[in-house]
Structure formats: C-alpha cells, structure tokens
Structure 1
Amino acid sequence: MASKKRNPILWAIWLFASLGLAIWLSLQLVDETAPKTAFIPGPMTHGHHQIEMQCSVCHGDGFDSETVLQNACVDCHGEQLDEAQDSHPKSKFTDPRNADRLANVDARLCVSCHVEHRPELDVGMGVTLPMDMCAHCHEDIARDRPSHEGMGFDTCASAGCHNYHDNRALYEDFLLAHAGESWLKTPAQQAPRDLLARHLRDEDLVALMRGQGAAPADAATPEHWDGNAHADAGVACTACHGGGDDWTDSPEPQQCATCHESESEGFLQGRHGMRIAQGLSPMTPSQSVLNMHVEASHRELTCISCHGAHDFDTQKAAVDSCIGCHNDEHSNEYLRSPHHDLWKQEKRGELPPGSGVTCATCHMPREEKHGEIFVQHNQSLTMRPVEKMARPVCLQCHSLEFSLDALADPHLLENNFNGQPEKHVPSIDMAVDRDKSRDKKGPY
C-alpha cells in the first residue's frame, strides 16, 4: 500500500514558521538592546527578577562553570555571610571526616540549595530551598536529640529554630540570657543617629559640604530648603550640583554617595538599588512582584525617591515614602497597627524621639559600627530568614521569646503585628530544660 502524500502546504507553513522563529531568535542575540526572555529557562524569583536580563551577572560570559556561579553568589552575598559567622562554612564540607555527606548534597556550592529559574521552590522572600535539605545530614536528629522527636524537616527553618548560615540565635548562652524577660522593654526606643556629628569630624567632607566654585546667578533657593537637614548643616548647592562650568541641574543618583557612602552601599545591596549596582536603570514599582499603587508604577527608585530632591524629610522617608509605593496587606495594615499609633504620638511630641515604630525602624534598622550609629539602607537584609530581624530590630523593644513567637506567626506578619502571637516557639524553653538537667547531674 502506497504511503499517503504529505500536504505540501502544511510543509511550507512549517518551514516558514521555523525560519521565522530562527530569524527572530538570531535578531535577539545580535541586538544588544533586545530582551532575551526567550532564552531564560524559567522565571526568576523575586529576589533576582529585577536583573533577570543581566545574565552575565551570575553566569559570566561563558555559561559553563559552576565556579563562575559560586563567585557571583559570593560577590553579592559574601559580606552577609562573613557577618553571619557561617555555621556551615565550606571548611566543614572539605573536612575528610564529612566526605560522605557531600555525596548527598554538595553544600560547598550555593546553587546546591539555592537555584534560580525554579520559582516553585521559593520558600518565601525570593529564597529557593529544598524542604528536605536538612534531612541529608541530620536524618537521625530525633534519636540524638529526643526534644526534636515528631518535628518535621520542613520546620527546621521556622522562625526561632535553625538558620543554616547563622545559628547564633540558638546558642544556649544567648537563649538563657534572655529567658524570663518581660515582653516589652522600658524604655522602648531606638538609639539616635549621629550622622551630622560624624560628618563634621571629617574635614575633607566638611569642605565638600560647604561647596566649591559658584552656582549660576539664576540658581534660585529651592522652596523646601530652609530648615532641612542639609541647610542646617551648611551644605551648599554646589556640593551636589557642582560649581561654575561643572554645574548640573540634575545630579546623578549616586552623587549622594559622596557624603553618604555607608548608606549608599547598603542601598545598592538591597532590592531597591540592585539594578543601579549592575549598571541598569533604577528599579520602578511596576517591576515588583508585590502589590504597588498604580500611580507610583513608573517612579524610579533612587535616594531622592524617598528623601526628596531638596526637602530631605526623614520623617516622610520613614513612612510616607514607603506607603506611597507599597500597597500590600502588610504595608496597609501598618496604618492600623499599634506601631503606627506610637509613631503618631512621637510626631505629636507626646513620646520622646525614637519611641515610634516606622517602616524604616524595622526594615532599615539603626546599626552601630566603630562607636557610630547609622541607618542600614539595605532594606532586604533582615527579610529572610525572618528571625534575622530579631536581634537588630525586635530586641530593641521586646523580649526574645515574644519576638520569636511574633515572627513565627504568619497572621501577625500579615496584619503588621496587631495582636498577640498565637504560636509559641519553644527554643528558650528547651534551653532552660537542658540547663536544669545539667544542674541535676552535677559537674561530672
């Protein structure tokens, strides 16, 4: 029986479609400005999606080396790992005594646990993680520690439990030191910033602030200039805009880093500034995976997006600038929370400075380095795992037990901590019980 003849029209359609697809893909490769979305194997998590078209940031030029990927992870996150006092350092897995564990998971490489283009593995805040990761090495934990009997491996990374990269929150000395604390500390307030005093001690910075050269004769004093922080510090127009022939009406966003280096470094490491750090245009709310206000969709995120070009109102930046873009439940519920009530009382002068709780209080906490206090502008730093917020933020006002319970309660996270925790993390209880059992057994 003769085979049926294939329809030449269908063959022609298939041929032209294939040729058209090949041409389209080739043009994307040749045109440096064309989007390369067709070549992405899967969506990025919202931790990296802002730079998903900058493939070379992670893959380099060759796409052929796990070393390149590892170096890319460390280039961006290495400082955080160093500060975390890594509880699973590379040396633990290069130790010959642990060689058998590498057969299950090569934990020397970040991508063994954190993979991109697999958003279905996202466990929150843009972090991908296989939920059975801990089981590879700790499958006998219930036998070794009876207190863990009945606990699932998908609960290891719950708030107040284990943080793969930094287990200091579970050190028993730390837990015992905070046992029995009152849920609310007195006084509950932040330490004051010392930005101006820090700058005035730097003679070169003072000279820069005072400005060099002259502003154009038609350069008018901005409407909101009088009384703001820069005006009170004696900062001249030329400090930002340049003087004489170098005058520019619109300084580059990174001009602020000339005086605010630490703050700028933090901003560039967070999700708000990571595009600028990679040489891309500033991020806009329309590029976020969170709910944002439509009217703010195309607002570019730079220093002056929050602080203003000339008013530099830190109170506005601490709340209004955030709420002006963010339209998710957590942000909106803040306006109905006890934290916001405290902020309103502080603004009315009914409470001392630092008593109110703003968006920035929690997401841009004040840090002390070398005896100086500055604001950490990497707003992503304490987001994941969530208990990273306990030490630098929650413990300023609350007990450790209350902080861990609140952070472990997903309902409280959504309603911006309006109410008491419905869950209890037994970390401190377990430490106290172990301490009591040791006392009963004696020193030997």
Structure 2
Amino acid sequence: MSRTAKLWILWVVSTLVGGGILLAAMIYGGPLRASLLIGKTTSGHHQIELACEACHTSPFGGGEVLQEACLSCHKAELAAAKDSHPLKKFRDPRNADRLAKLNATQCVTCHREHKPDITGPMGVTLPGDYCELCHEKVGKDRPSHLNIGFDTCASAGCHNYHDNRALYEDFLEKHAGQQDVKELAIFKLRAEKNEPLEPREPLITIGVANAPADKLSDQKINNDWLATTHAQAGVNCAGCHAPDKKDAAEIADAWTDKPSTAVCTTCHAPEASSFTQGKHGMRLAKGLKSEVAGLFGIFRDKPLTPMQVSMARLPMSSKAHAEQLTCTSCHGAHTFDAMKAQVESCTSCHADEHTKAYERSSHYKLWQDEIAGVKPKGTGVSCATCHMPRQWVEDPATYSERIVANHNQNDNLRPNEKMIRSVCMECHGLGFSIDALADQNLIKRNFSGQPAVKVESIDWVKKRVEEREKAKANQ
C-alpha cells in the first residue's frame, strides 16, 4: 500500500473518530460537551452552560438571535431597573456618533460569554474605561470628576450602567447627612410578613389527615408536618402528594412520596418564579435542556437536573457537595421552617469568608435577639434579610398583592450597589451604605466594624448644592 493511500485511510479514520466524539458530546452532554466550550462561561450563566440552545436558539443565527435570547430571560428585570441607558437613547439620531463608538443597543456588546480573558466579575467584557467613549468631557461640566480615571466609574460605588436610582444626584442630596444606623432599624416588610416564631394550633390534625394509612406511621414526619404553616392553614397531605384528588382510592393511586417542585408552584408561584431566575434554581427554568435534538430527531431533549452544590464556583462545604437544590433543600420535606431556611440552610452549604463571618457579626446578634423575643420582629438580620428581601408582588393564584421573599438571590446583589435601596437603607444611612458596600474587606468580615473606604459622591453633591445656592444669592 502506498504512503498516500495510508495517509488517506488515516485521515478518514481520524475524521470518523473525531466526528463520533463530537456527535456523542452534542447528544449525551456532560463532560464531553463541556470539553467543546470555546471558553469559560461567566459566573452568571455557568449553571446552564451545557444548555447551549438556551442562548443559541438557531445554529446559524447572529447577534439578533443572541439579543432575543438575552431579553427572553432579562427583559422584565431591565424594565424594572429604570434603565439610565435605555435603547431609545441610542436610537436617537442625535447620538449616532456615540452609537458608532459603542453599540449599546446589543446586550452582547458588554455581556459576552466564553471570553474569560476580558470578562470582569460582573460578566462585562468591555475595558473598564468604556464610559470614556461617551463621557470624555465630563470633567468640564463636573470639576469634581477631573483627574479621576474612567476605570473607576463602575467600581467606586458611584455609577451603575443600567440603574442609578440609588445614586442620582437628587437622591444623594435628599439623604445626605443621615446617621449611620437609624433609630428605628427595622425591616418593615419582613415584620409585616407575620411568620409566627411560636407554633400555632393546626387546622389539620392526624385524625383528619387524608394520607393512606401506611404513610402515617412515621411519628417524626407527622409531628414535623403538624407544626408547619401548611397544617395550620388547613393544607392536607394530598394537597402536595396527590393534588386535586379527594377520594381515598384516588389519593392512594396518585400518591407520590416526593412531589416535584411543580407542586410547590401551584400555591407559591411568585416565589417559584424568582427561584428559577437565580443561580439556585435557574437550571429548573422552563425549557432549559441539557441535550440538543439528535440526528433526524432520534434522540430526545433532556431537562437539566437541579443545581448540585458541587457545581458552585464559590467556596462550599464539602459535606453539602452532593446536595441538589430544590424547594425542599432549604425548607425541608415536612418541616418548612422559614426561620431555619433564612440562616441555617445558607450556612450549611456556603463556606466563603463572608458567610463564615456572619455568626460573629452584629447582624447575627440582632437575629438571635429577635428569635429570643428580646428585640421586636423585623429587627434581626438573617442571610435572607439581605439576599432574599421581602417585596410586594401580584399573586396570580389570588389576583391580589402579597408580601413574598424574593428567591432570586442575585436580584439585588450584582452589582452590590443594587442593595442600597432594597436592603441597606432600611436600617442604615445612605452614606454609610455606599461606603460599606465599596469596602471589600468589610464585606468579607460580614460588616463587622466601620467602613475603611470613603466614597465622596455625597460630599460632591453637597458642594454643588452650596455652589448653586451661592450663585442664586449673587444674582
């Protein structure tokens, strides 16, 4: 056999083997598909990085396809953000020169995936001085900004590209001079939630429990359930284990020992919706698949499994690595202890410096005092108080507004200045809040101590107000 023929055979075999590996990777996912990623995914999306079709909805689509994919998940969030750089600003013909420098009409201009070498901690891939492209003459109008590097705009606790509500000049002026800790430091919505610290008498008792007889033999499960708000509110066993079944025979036939999270959604739709928007539950979002359709449709798509703790990029407890995150991961299968879920469920998994420092913080002491009844309801600060704050939402099940915990733990966290209005200012003054969130070492200590960072934005605003007043007086 000639050398040319051998090379041809080697090329054909190599092509078939490579093609087989590629096909297997696309069909079966897992480590094989992960090996095909063209670069590390950002921390915001790495949980769904193997669900390629979540963003690449068309194999031949370009920027328009990716833009639509971004908006399919984040459109409501952007609408609620009071965007200070809305699309209409860049579609204005008067800003055509700015659009030529920075195509701000496309999400992927800033938020790119698989580009780890140029991706910052918030998933932004542009250089830190990108603000200069449009605001190069800001020092002319605001002398306070002269000689300040443009790479500090988004990192000094001053400016957020999409939402500057907590940092608008009139807001800074209105809240200048506030004391570090307010006299009445209380989280009002959490106080109004009316979660009882002491058990109440259940409306449902074991005597009227509609579970099959063989399911009522575990006394611990019975006692746990009787102490829950479910039993107190009259939610019977079949409500979760055999929904919509009333007859004993129907309940026995339809009974499932481990109900899916879809059952929780029937009563807790707002909580479930926000859960699937955050890192804890985003793999359970409707439509996310871990496999693409196979050749000629032979292979079926497969939904992503729940997030496993070992998938996290933050330091996590090794004891929790095998745990999967669903509703009952934090709330328990029959206990549904909201108090436990607000702290212990978090600290049982998270092992970063900030979390480890929590039990040495003044926030934790306040939390313990509230639980003990020493301090009023709403004065304690749990993990969930800051990272899953209460908010008013419209409940589609009841067509009314109610207070719920926002289970998207990233909603007010990245960038962390988003926490100023929704969390920090419930108890602290604006200046203290801005300085504290700009102090990375203070954050690691879970805010034990005073900020060592001074953000001068309020001082600048006060100076501008004085200058305006002086100019008026001299007219």
TM-score by length of 2: 0.84
Question: Which residue in 2 is equivalent to 1:230?
Answer: 230
Asked if 1:414 is matched to 2:422, the reply is: no
**Match for residue 213 of structure 2 among 186, 210, 217:** 217
- How far does residue 9 in structure 1 lie from its aligned partner after superposition? 9.5
Q: Is the partner of 1:374 in helix, strand or coil? A: strand
Asked if 1:173 is matched to 2:203, the reply is: no
**Match for residue 348 of structure 1 among 363, 366, 372:** 372
Task: Name the % identity.
Answer: 49
- How far does residue 215 in structure 1 lie from its aligned partner after superposition? 2.8
Question: Which residue in 2 is equivalent to 1:239?
Answer: 239
**Match for residue 254 of structure 1 among 244, 254, 262:** 262
Gap change, CA 1:27 and 1:124, over 3 Å in 2: closer
**Separation in structure 1 between the aligned mates of residue 267 and residue 8 of structure 2, nearest angstrom:** 66
Asked if 1:293 is matched to 2:314, the reply is: no
Asked if 1:81 is matched to 2:78, the reply is: yes
In structure 1, runs of 5+ residues without a counterpart are: 198-211
Contact 2:111-2:124 at 8 Å conserved across structures: yes
What's the CA shift string for 1:48-105, capped at 9, x where partnerless?
Answer: 0010011111110324221111111111111111111111111111111111112111
**Separation in structure 2 between the aligned mates of residue 116 and residue 398 of structure 1, nearest angstrom:** 36
Asked if 1:106 is matched to 2:103, the reply is: yes
**Match for residue 343 of structure 2 among 308, 319, 327:** 319
Contact 2:392-2:402 at 8 Å conserved across structures: yes
**Separation in structure 1 between the aligned mates of residue 193 and residue 365 of structure 2, nearest angstrom:** 27
- How far does residue 374 in structure 1 lie from its aligned partner after superposition? 1.8
Question: Which residue in 1 is equivalent to 2:148?
Answer: 151
Asked if 1:37 is matched to 2:34, the reply is: yes
Contact 1:283-1:301 at 8 Å conserved across structures: yes
Q: Is the partner of 1:183 in helix, strand or coil? A: coil
Write the letter of the residue equivalent to 2:132: A
Contact 1:113-1:130 at 8 Å conserved across structures: no
Contact 1:193-1:373 at 8 Å conserved across structures: no
TM-score by length of 1: 0.89
Question: Which residue in 2 is equivalent to 1:203?
Answer: none
**Separation in structure 2 between the aligned mates of residue 227 and residue 182 of structure 1, nearest angstrom:** 41
Q: Is the partner of 1:407 in helix, strand or coil? A: helix
**Match for residue 390 of structure 1 among 397, 400, 420:** 420
**Separation in structure 2 between the aligned mates of residue 30 and residue 326 of structure 1, nearest angstrom:** 33
- How far does residue 164 in structure 1 lie from its aligned partner after superposition? 0.7
Question: Which residue in 2 is equivalent to 1:205?
Answer: none
Q: Is the partner of 1:367 in helix, strand or coil? A: strand
In structure 2, runs of 5+ residues without a counterpart are: 196-207, 246-250, 289-302, 395-400
Question: Which residue in 2 is equivalent to 1:142?
Answer: 139
What's the CA shift string for 1:319-357, capped at 9, x where partnerless?
Answer: 100000001111111121111111122222211121111
**Separation in structure 1 between the aligned mates of residue 191 and residue 32 of structure 2, nearest angstrom:** 43
**Separation in structure 2 between the aligned mates of residue 270 and residue 31 of structure 1, nearest angstrom:** 26
Q: Is the partner of 2:226 in helix, strand or coil? A: coil
Asked if 1:267 is matched to 2:275, the reply is: yes
Contact 1:224-1:311 at 8 Å conserved across structures: yes
Write the letter of the residue equivalent to 1:21: G
Asked if 1:24 is matched to 2:25, the reply is: no
**Separation in structure 2 between the aligned mates of residue 36 and residue 440 of structure 1, nearest angstrom:** 66
**Separation in structure 2 between the aligned mates of residue 301 and residue 46 of structure 1, nearest angstrom:** 17
Number of residue equivalences: 427
Question: Which residue in 2 is equivalent to 1:209?
Answer: none
Comparing 361-370 with 120-129, which one deviates more in the overlay? 120-129
Q: Is the partner of 1:368 in helix, strand or coil? A: strand
Contact 2:209-2:237 at 8 Å conserved across structures: no
Write the letter of the residue equivalent to 2:265: A
Contact 1:337-1:417 at 8 Å conserved across structures: yes
Question: Which residue in 2 is equivalent to 1:184?
Answer: 181
**Separation in structure 2 between the aligned mates of residue 151 and residue 442 of structure 1, nearest angstrom:** 29
Comparing 79-88 with 240-249, which one deviates more in the overlay? 240-249
**Match for residue 423 of structure 1 among 429, 453, 473:** 453
- How far does residue 122 in structure 1 lie from its aligned partner after superposition? 3.3
Gap change, CA 1:356 and 1:159, over 3 Å in 2: farther
**Separation in structure 1 between the aligned mates of residue 184 and residue 407 of structure 2, nearest angstrom:** 25
Q: Is the partner of 2:412 in helix, strand or coil? A: coil
Contact 2:278-2:409 at 8 Å conserved across structures: yes
Write the letter of the residue equivalent to 1:188: A
Question: Which residue in 2 is equivalent to 1:206?
Answer: none
- How far does residue 6 in structure 1 lie from its aligned partner after superposition? 9.0
Contact 2:30-2:50 at 8 Å conserved across structures: no
What's the CA shift string for 1:226-272, capped at 9, x where partnerless?
Answer: 22221221211111111423221110022111111111111010010
Question: Which residue in 2 is equivalent to 1:335?
Answer: 359
Q: Is the partner of 1:262 in helix, strand or coil? A: helix
Contact 1:342-1:355 at 8 Å conserved across structures: yes
Gap change, CA 1:7 and 1:416, over 3 Å in 2: farther
Q: Is the partner of 1:339 in helix, strand or coil? A: helix
Contact 1:159-1:404 at 8 Å conserved across structures: no
Question: Which residue in 1 is equivalent to 2:387?
Answer: 363
Contact 1:88-1:165 at 8 Å conserved across structures: yes
**Separation in structure 2 between the aligned mates of residue 225 and residue 30 of structure 1, nearest angstrom:** 42
Comparing 326-335 with 16-25, which one deviates more in the overlay? 16-25
**Match for residue 121 of structure 1 among 105, 118, 123:** 118
Contact 2:24-2:32 at 8 Å conserved across structures: no
Asked if 1:379 is matched to 2:403, the reply is: no
**Separation in structure 1 between the aligned mates of residue 262 and residue 436 of structure 2, nearest angstrom:** 37
Contact 2:43-2:313 at 8 Å conserved across structures: yes
